[in-house]
Amino acid sequence: MTNFGSIEENKAIIQNLYAFFKSGEGAKIAAIFHPKIEWKQMEGFPNGGTYIGTKEVFKNVFSQFANQWSGWGAVAEEFIPAGKRVFVLGYYKGKSIEAGKYMEAPLVHIYTLENGLITHFRQYTDTHVVQNALKK
């Protein structure tokens, strides 16, 4: 027996994750995170860095977007399952609260799953576009 679900199960978990992001269902997000999830955001992205554990991710990543952005969102356009990984293609969108600039930046998210839980996240995006929106 493998330590990860089927390709379609993994894809469905990640699709649900984006639905939970959109509806703000933090408890449902936490329920599909491994307690020691490793969350890596690109340097140059707001709050970029590596965070370990669900509490760190919620505190240092998710709770920070509302402080900097109006209408922030990660819009998933395509889900590509590959074994225990799921690749997501899409874009970030939002309006900088301080600078008043709207932006859209392409994204690639890579999730690794084991036993129905997300164990790793890796982010790739155009941090230059994001940073420019934050500047007055």
- Here the CATH number for the domain that contains residue 95 is 3.10.450.50
Contacts (Cβ under 8 Å, ≥6 apart) of 6: none
State how far Cα 65 lies from the chain centre. 12
Residue 6: Cβ-neighbour burial (10 angstroms; 0-12, 13-18, 19+): exposed
Task: Please state the pTM of the whole predicted model.
Answer: 0.93
Q: For residue 2, is it within any domain?
A: no
- End-to-end CA distance of the chain, in Å? 54
Rounded Cα distance, 88 and 124, in Å: 10
Q: For residue 82, is it within any domain?
A: yes
Q: For residue 22, is it within any domain?
A: yes
Number of domains observed in the structure of the chain: 1
Q: For residue 1, is it within any domain?
A: no
Per-residue pLDDT of the chain (136 residues; tens, 9 = 90+): 345 579 999 999 999 999 999 999 999 999 999 999 999 999 999 999 999 999 999 999 999 888 899 999 999 999 999 999 999 999 999 999 999 999 999 999 999 999 999 999 999 999 999 999 999 8
